[in-house]
Amino acid sequence: MLQTSYCIDEIKKEARQLVECGVVDGQQPIWVLCEFIAPGECIEMENEIEQNHYLLRAHIADLIDQEDR
């Protein structure tokens, strides 16, 4: 599960781990990450993602830095 601290770096780190473990695919939309946190906390994660200029419909691979893939 994603941690409850919703800074963009932690979200990226958790997303990278989920991709590396094969739980999600980098071509899936970012909003899929909401499946791994408590429903009531999804809004906070979405806000952090959008504040950092990512679209929830963009691919998870877009969220993960190039050197981290």
Torsion of CA 25, 31, 5, 24, to 10 degrees: -10
When pLDDT is cut at 50, 70 and 90, the band that residue 8 belongs to is: very high
Higher pLDDT, 69 or 61: 61
Element (H, E) at 32: none
Report pLDDT digits (tens) over 20-61.
999 999 999 999 999 998 878 899 999 999 999 999 999 999
The ranges assigned to domains in the chain are 8-68
Say how far residue 42 (Cα) sits from the centre of its chain. 11
User: Global pTM?
Assistant: 0.82
